[in-house]
Amino acid sequence: MERDLQRLTTTVSNRDLDRYDRQISIKDFGERGQLRLKKAHVVVAGIGGVGSAVSMYLAVAGIGHLTVIDSGKVELSNLNRQVLHWEEDLGSNKAKSAAAKLRQLNTDIEVTSVEESIEANNVSSLLQGADTVVDCLDNFSARYALNDAAVKLNMPAFHAACFGFEGRVTTIIPRITPCLRCIYPRGLQLEKVPIIGSIAGTIGNIAATEAIKFFVGLEPTLKNKLLIYDGQRLIYNLVNISRNPECPSCREMRIK
């Protein structure tokens, strides 16, 4: 309640005008766009390679409130891609490690860390009060739980995933676009996914750009489209995706 009131009365300060000058000067962005970012609350689910890039660029863009969620601990084999976690963080919780860096990147925003794993029974409460969520999780059971909750809460979600030199991104607007279960009715559980950090960064930044465009009031490009990025051959493909009328997650919400 207090936060809602705070958000209503938020304005762009002189410091904001200075700090974000280079993006405020983008045509179609302006002070209005900056104010919208400042009022935004975004959840970044999973602070691995993709989540590191997403949360860093949302933080420096001035998203007013970032919540980072991850129950995992930093391991040596994470450091090839999870750039928010450093050698000194080995063994620490990832949400905590990420939040500490994000607060240093931008002291003007609020950063909340949640040291929990996303599951069907807690995800709705974790998303409560946020405007959007970026799905940077590393397994399908958590991704499906997040998807189902976002659809129920009518919350836009940005999906980003990687494999090797490849990555995929889409923007999910419940009732308007396909949800994750429409695209992949069944997930594939892998023990260990091969990933190079630069691809996780590229994919995370595309998802962050989609989120920023959404808040600023520019049309997200990846509505009803799945971006397929093939970094090995340097090809971007846009595939037209469609809703599954039988989708167990979003079918009830279909506009008749």
* Binding-residue pattern over the window 46 to 85 for another protein, x denoting contact by CB under 8 A: x-xxxx----------------------------------
**Does 163 sit near another protein (CB under 8 A)?**
yes
Residues between 224 and 253 that touch another protein (CB under 8 A): 226, 228, 230, 233, 237-242
**Does 160 sit near another protein (CB under 8 A)?**
yes
The Cα–Cα gap between 203 and 156 comes to 18
CB 130 within 8 A of CB 155: yes
Q: How many residues bind another protein (CB under 8 A)?
A: 42
- Which range binds another protein by CB under 8 A, 16-24, 138-146, 214-222, 248-256? 138-146
* Residue whose CB is less far from another protein, 23 or 221: 221
CA 144: distance to chain centroid?
A: 15
Which DSSP state fits 139? S
CB 196 within 8 A of CB 164: yes
Token representation of residue 135: 């799905």
CB 130 within 8 A of CB 156: no
* Binding-residue pattern over the window 12 to 41 for another protein, x denoting contact by CB under 8 A: ------------------------------
H helical segments located in 13-80: 14-19, 21-24, 30-38, 49-61
Residues between 208 and 227 that touch another protein (CB under 8 A): 226
* Binding-residue pattern over the window 118 to 137 for another protein, x denoting contact by CB under 8 A: ------------------xx
CB 210 within 8 A of CB 160: no
CB 114 within 8 A of CB 66: no
**Interface ranges with another protein (CB under 8 A):** 46, 48-51, 136-140, 143, 160-164, 166-168, 178, 183-190, 193-195, 200, 226, 228, 230, 233, 237-242
